[in-house]
Structure 1
Amino acid sequence: MRVIRTDRKTLWTTPFCLTMLGMLFLFIPFSLYMPVLPAYLLEELNSSLQAAGAVNAAFLIAAVLFRVHTPRLEARFGVRRVLLASGIVFTATNAIYLGLDSVAGILLNRFVSGAAFAIVNTSTMALGSRLVPRSRIGEGLAYLTTMVLAGGAVGPYIGLKLSSVYGYPSVFIFSTLTTLLGLLIICLVPDREEMAKTPARISVRDLFEVKAVPVSLIILVLAFSYGGVMTFVVVYASELHLPLVIEYFFVVMATASVLSRLATGRLYDRLGADAAICVSIVILAGGLMILGGIHITAWMLLAAAMIGVGYGSAVPSMQALAIQISPEHRSSAVTATFFTCVDGGIGLGAYVLGGGIQAFGYAAVYLALGVMSFGCLLSYYLLSTANRRSQNGPLPPRSPEPGRE
């Protein structure tokens, strides 16, 4: 692979734009299946609510287990080979759904799909972060993750529309072709940094970046709440007989996320992590409490917008903070650590909250998630205080200039 190494502050390069476009097409199938597969199991295979939640949990548990191995795989086989292999497997699993008609088969395929997606996603995100100048890390990561949210807007909407008009096989065909297109685009991107050598023996430090763990644990809690929204909100709206919520909830949520992220990166770089992260937590928690407390179409769509803004701002802000406080050559390990917690939180939310909903109902669960998310403010305050003490000052409002770390 051709290696490019520069210290320029240019953000909008051709490789960076290709990475953004490739991520968009990879994340459309990812977000598409989150609400569609649970509905598929409930409607077509007559599964239980617990099994419907498990279909997303299987995907995300696999992502947790395999994502952390991405840096080692890249060091051993090279970034290009890892991207190709994991991308091909992820594409194949989308096509395999066409031949499956049992809950067990879908869960197994979902697990394999999660493993492959975790690797190709981690590798792509790390590749994109290496294309961003360190002085613009907040802005650059916000634009990269905006593509994730754009996929989150398009994916569920297209999936629900295709399944209702043409049936579920059309969803699987669309996802296969979209994934293949995203993989082809990403393969056009040259890497700009050699991977650090990985020792022969595996240790926890090789798989995770210790400095990124505290902030990653906070995003795990927020992702737990988000997983409950992604997996069950369509079923929730169906029980409330709110067709407009079913059709437009994810569009509103993801559109609000995209718009907010256009400002989140600049807010982070100019005012610092504290301002960006605390505001995002408050907005997310408020949206969850509205979702559980007010069952009117307009208010539920407002909740969708607030959840989109809150979670959509929290992810890039906390990822930027994790990268900022970690060694630059550990970008893949930082990404793996961070998104392991993201996937783990969403997976736990998808599975655990299914039982909670059966026991207490949708409204009570979403209200509890709002309260729990508010509690993350205290966790972040403790983390921020510890960082100030270690640095003898507040977290810097801007990322370090290249060559000054």
Structure 2
Amino acid sequence: MNTEKPILWNRNFVQCCISYFLMNFSFYLLMPTMPLYLVEVLGIDTANVGIVLSSYTIGLLCVRPFSGFLVDCFSRKPLYLLAFFVFAVMFGGYLVAATMLTIMAVRFVQGGFMGLTSVSGNTIAIDVIPSVRRGEGMGFYGLTINLAMSLAPLVAVVIYDKWGFHPLVLVGLVAAFIGVGSVCLIRYPKREKMPRPHFSLDRFILVKALPAALAYILVAIPYGMITSFVVLYGKEIEVANPGYFFIYMAVGVGTSRLISGRLVDHGKIHWVSVCSSVCLLVTFAVFATVHHPVAFFVCALMIGIGYGVGVPAFQCLFVNVAPHNMRGTATSTYLTSFDLGVGIGMLSAGFIASHAGLAMAYGVGGGCCLLSLLVYLRWVRPSYEKYKLLV
């Protein structure tokens, strides 16, 4: 009996990781510098910067629910290639857009195609990963976005300070087109022709995964609070260089994902998910109440570990209850849940902070983690055990 595990790091999986990294790297080059460009160069009022930045999220959320349907209906690699190509081309729009409305339009369209690109790319990655190593594979695959989010801002600040915004855009454009080339190298077999599914709710949302979606939305809310307001919070509690928070967080995510996926593959998906929620619950409680630089950065590390452990497990909660012809819908539901939670977190953190301070906002974030844990124990676990598939 052959007990050797199938190869994970084959040509296709490597190219999937490279293309996903380059897509996120090119996009996150603009995240730390776009506000500076809007205010300092275009003279846009600071109050309107958030509106410009959020147009990307609106475009992404408009497309995500339908992208799973498209991925399940059409050939996945050509769709991935087309979406990635348009995403890359849209970097050229930043070179000619010179007003608030035109930049919003560019970000809206690019956000929509990034939504389609991420769903098709994730689905192809799931297809090429051996089913017995799915948790481990998705852990490494997801790690690429954390590397991109950590490296891109460092590179972006250097380029922007030396040469300005447009050269930075050109770097993003080149990186994105290299990513398109990487997609071309993926050897992905053509799917057998299947009858086109009729339009129904379960073609846009994976109904079997709705309990997991609710739990994931709740745990993503404090993540949205972190990404948007943590630097401001660090300044409020007098932490020097609060921007280093993201480096510690990235270290936590990276180290935890090296082991969490393997635990999921060994049948410990519920244990991993519960540990993730408990870790985040305790950490956000400390983060909201202990105002000390050491606690600030230790919490950054622990928040990274909490999300790094939980993300591969949550993705498998969606994918493992979906048949092969609905993996696109499963991936779309998974990503849409996270994006929705992040959006709620961004909006609610600003509202709570204006009335009761950011410490209270992060306390509420801890409460969301508690609710997520309760939802998981009450509904997600029994639902998953009922509907999970063997492959």
TM-score of the pair, normalised by structure 2: 0.88
Cα deviation, residue 81, structure 1: 2.9
Unaligned runs of 5+ in 1: 1-7
Q: Which deviates the most, 157-166 or 368-377?
A: 157-166
Verify: 1:29 aligned to 2:21, yes or no. no
Verify: 1:182 aligned to 2:173, yes or no. no
Amino acid aligned to 1:275: W
Query: Could you tell me whether the CA contact under 8 Å between 1:244 and 1:297 is conserved in 2?
Result: no
Aligned to 2:352: 356
Amino acid aligned to 1:127: I
Aligned to 1:86: 83
Amino acid aligned to 2:340: G
Verify: 1:259 aligned to 2:255, yes or no. yes
Cα deviation, residue 303, structure 1: 1.9
Aligned to 1:102: 99
Q: Of the candidates 7, 10, 17, which is equivalent to residue 10 of structure 1?
A: 7
Query: Could you tell me whether the CA contact under 8 Å between 2:60 and 2:115 is conserved in 1?
Result: yes
Aligned to 1:5: none
Verify: 1:320 aligned to 2:311, yes or no. no
C-alpha separation between the residues in 1 aligned to 2:105 and 2:74?
A: 26
1:107-122 → structure 2 map (5 Å cutoff) = 107-122=104-119
Aligned to 2:283: 287
1:4-403 → structure 2 map (5 Å cutoff) = 9-38=6-35, 40-41=37-38, 45-48=43-46, 51-74=48-71, 78-192=75-189, 194=191, 197=194, 199=196, 201-238=198-235, 242-246=239-243, 248-387=244-383, 390=386, 400=390
C-alpha separation between the residues in 1 aligned to 2:168 and 2:282?
A: 33
Cα deviation, residue 121, structure 1: 0.8
Amino acid aligned to 1:144: Y
Amino acid aligned to 2:304: G
C-alpha separation between the residues in 2 aligned to 1:40 and 1:239?
A: 25
Q: Which deviates the most, 51-60 or 329-338?
A: 51-60
Query: Could you tell me whether the CA contact under 8 Å between 1:153 and 1:253 is conserved in 2?
Result: no
Amino acid aligned to 2:219: L
Cα deviation, residue 233, structure 1: 2.2
Matched residue SS, 2:105: helix
Amino acid aligned to 1:210: V
C-alpha separation between the residues in 2 aligned to 1:386 and 1:76?
A: 30
Query: Could you tell me whether the CA contact under 8 Å between 1:60 and 1:344 is conserved in 2?
Result: no
Query: Could you tell me whether the CA contact under 8 Å between 2:277 and 2:372 is conserved in 1?
Result: yes
Unaligned runs of 5+ in 2: none
Query: Could you tell me whether the CA contact under 8 Å between 1:138 and 1:266 is conserved in 2?
Result: yes
Matched residue SS, 1:9: coil
Q: C-alpha offsets along residues 179-226 of structure 1, whole Å, 9 cap, x if unaligned?
A: 222221122112246277463642222122211222122112222221
Distance verdict in 2 for CA 1:154–1:196, change over 3 Å: farther
Matched residue SS, 2:187: coil
Q: C-alpha offsets along residues 312-331 of structure 1, whole Å, 9 cap, x if unaligned?
A: 22221100121112223311
Query: Could you tell me whether the CA contact under 8 Å between 1:64 and 1:340 is conserved in 2?
Result: yes
Q: Which deviates the most, 74-83 or 367-376?
A: 74-83
Distance verdict in 2 for CA 1:127–1:316, change over 3 Å: same
Amino acid aligned to 1:100: A
Aligned to 1:3: none
C-alpha separation between the residues in 2 aligned to 1:47 and 1:355?
A: 20
Cα deviation, residue 72, structure 1: 3.8
Query: Could you tell me whether the CA contact under 8 Å between 1:27 and 1:148 is conserved in 2?
Result: yes
Q: Which deviates the most, 254-263 or 221-230?
A: 221-230
Q: CA RMSD in A?
A: 2.7
C-alpha separation between the residues in 1 aligned to 2:182 and 2:344?
A: 32
Distance verdict in 2 for CA 1:76–1:282, change over 3 Å: closer
Query: Could you tell me whether the CA contact under 8 Å between 1:92 and 1:176 is conserved in 2?
Result: yes
Distance verdict in 2 for CA 1:145–1:190, change over 3 Å: same
Q: How many residues align?
A: 386
Q: Which deviates the most, 18-27 or 183-192?
A: 183-192
Amino acid aligned to 1:370: G
TM-score of the pair, normalised by structure 1: 0.85
Amino acid aligned to 2:298: L
Amino acid aligned to 2:14: C
C-alpha separation between the residues in 2 aligned to 1:331 and 1:32?
A: 30
Distance verdict in 2 for CA 1:327–1:78, change over 3 Å: closer
C-alpha separation between the residues in 1 aligned to 2:321 and 2:159?
A: 43
Query: Could you tell me whether the CA contact under 8 Å between 2:86 and 2:113 is conserved in 1?
Result: yes
